[in-house]
Chain A
Amino acid sequence: MQLAGAGLAGLARFLSGASVRWINCEPDTCQRIYYANHTSHLDVLVLWSALPYRVRRVTKPVAAKDYWEAGAVRRFIAKSVFDALLIDRHNIKVHSNPVNMLLDAIGDTYSLIVFPEGGRNTGERLGEFKSGLYYLCKKRPELEAVPVHIDNMNRILPRGEFLPVPLLTCITFGAPIWLEEGESKQQFLHRAREAVLSLKER
């Protein structure tokens, strides 16, 4: 599994030619929520492979169940390589609340990779964030929420395509934010979104 993981990470880095930048933030194995813009199916892979091995080992991506359970290859990658947490996007009920499921899964060791826009976004524009990120931070206010901006991925593998084109990407990690005391859901989501947007300019 480790070999498959390393191989896949290497392939992702070769294909995406990713350069990784950490701005006001260092790679660390402490518990974090990495949240990023979402434009391509490969986002999970490039973001995950941009993390150093020791961090990657304790980081679980959150992904859509309907996409990653379709087909044996995707299922193998999601389960055995990424150790991904698969969320059922179409069937959210009170007793199967995804936020609780995620918090159970990470316990006090693991970090998460989430894409708070929900679905992939087609254009250059960053979509509005869904509330999941807020509820995660509300239940575990001590977790660092690290904004990540992934550049150019929608050109490498746009929606509806399955063959990637090897262009250069840049993955930027920004300074962590926390949920402030008394901060409303809207305020927090707005602030979180701005943090990702500001990384685009850096």
Chain B
Amino acid sequence: MVALAIATLVSQVLATRRDTVLDQGTIKVFKRRLQAWWVMCAVLAATFLFDRLVTVALFGLISFWALREFITLTPTRTADHRALFWVFFLFTPLQYLLVGLDQYGLYSVLIPVYGFLFIPARIAMAGDFKRFLERSAKIQAGLMVCVFCLSFAPALLYLKIPNFNDNARLLFFFVVIVQLVDVFEYLCEKLLGGHLVAPAINPSRTWQGFLGGLIGATLVGSLLWWATPFAPWEAGLMSLVIGVAGFAGGLTMSAVKRDRGVADYGTLVTGHGGVLDRLDSACFAAPIFFHVTRYFFT
């Protein structure tokens, strides 16, 4: 918290000084990241202070906002309207309600099975067959990534792990590692440069950044073992898993943006940093981290 306050202060000072060696773009990126950290801190603080249901509800709101960005970016047709309505007002709240009620059996199939079946059926009923498969897939993908996958982050709070009952710390561990992978990747890209992974999709992601992110996160992750039910080497391995999944998420969501010709989910709406730009890695890492933990530790 203190570190965050200092960083914010530094970024404010940097932004007002025009003669620094850093360019304004870098500072802007830095400030946006800090904002995301503040939000994360607030969500986590809610868990420590109030009930875990508050955290579930907050993640629900974040999902709602992310899904809205996703659907706004990818065009739909008028006939998809009713399907979209149910996606936003039935599936999204229901998923988080089931997480809050700890109904693992239901919430782990609600969207991948029933949402998957419902969406194309509802679009077919509306009677517009143009690009049918493409439109269904688009809505399904949005619902999967923004709602289903992300809901596994607050679901960590409900895991029953023997000899460990402070699940808020497990969520804290997850969020910190996801963010740190981002930071280490960014630093290694800037400092080392190197070979681009997929230049057509993202002009800044390099293999050096990827490896740097993984190494950095694994080291810090194993140092944070005390916050988790894991042994130090297990915590390091978990961080490695989070890092790989997060990298895949970042690249996938970049591809979606590239296809739509924008650099940021936030560019849709001036003045807002896109929520999805910050969440892409968390969306992919959350279900994997959840299931690895669930399989080996409960």
Please tell me if the beta carbons of B72 and A152 are within 8 angstroms of each other in the complex.
Answer: yes
Given the complex of chains A and B, what is the CA–CA distance between A165 and B88 in angstroms? 7
Given the complex of chains A and B, what is the CA–CA distance between A93 and B268 in angstroms? 44
Which of A28-36, A60-68, A105-113, A166-174 binds B?
A166-174
One of B81, B269, B271 near A165 (C-beta < 8 A) = B81
B71 partner residues in chain A, CB cutoff 8 A: 165, 167
**How near does chain B come to A56, taking the closest CB pair, in angstroms?**
20
Tell me if B69 counts as interface (CB < 8 A to partner A).
yes
Interface size class of A (residues with CB under 8 A): 10 to 19
A152 partner residues in chain B, CB cutoff 8 A: 72
**How near does chain A come to B129, taking the closest CB pair, in angstroms?**
18
Interface size class of B (residues with CB under 8 A): 10 to 19
Given the complex of chains A and B, what is the CA–CA distance between A158 and B270 in angstroms? 24
B202 partner residues in chain A, CB cutoff 8 A: none
Secondary structure at the A interface, as helix, strand, loop or mixed, is loop
Given the complex of chains A and B, what is the CA–CA distance between A163 and B122 in angstroms? 15
Residue with the greatest number of chain B CB neighbours at <10 A, chosen from A163, A165, A167: A165
Given the complex of chains A and B, what is the CA–CA distance between A159 and B76 in angstroms? 15
Q: In residues 1-51 of chain A, which contact B (Cβ within 8 Å)?
A: 17, 19, 21
Tell me if B85 counts as interface (CB < 8 A to partner A).
yes
Please tell me if the beta carbons of B72 and A167 are within 8 angstroms of each other in the complex.
Answer: yes
A19 partner residues in chain B, CB cutoff 8 A: 269-272
A164 partner residues in chain B, CB cutoff 8 A: 85
One of A159, A161, A163, A168 near B68 (C-beta < 8 A) = A168
Give residues in A with beta carbon < 8 Å to B.
17, 19, 21, 152, 154-155, 158-159, 161, 163-168, 170
Give residues in B with beta carbon < 8 Å to A.
64, 68-69, 71-72, 76, 78, 81-82, 84-85, 88, 268-272
- What are 16 of the A-B contact pairs (CB < 8 Å)? A19-B271, A21-B270, A152-B72, A154-B78, A155-B76, A155-B81, A161-B82, A163-B85, A165-B71, A165-B81, A166-B68, A167-B68, A168-B68, A168-B72, A168-B268, A170-B270
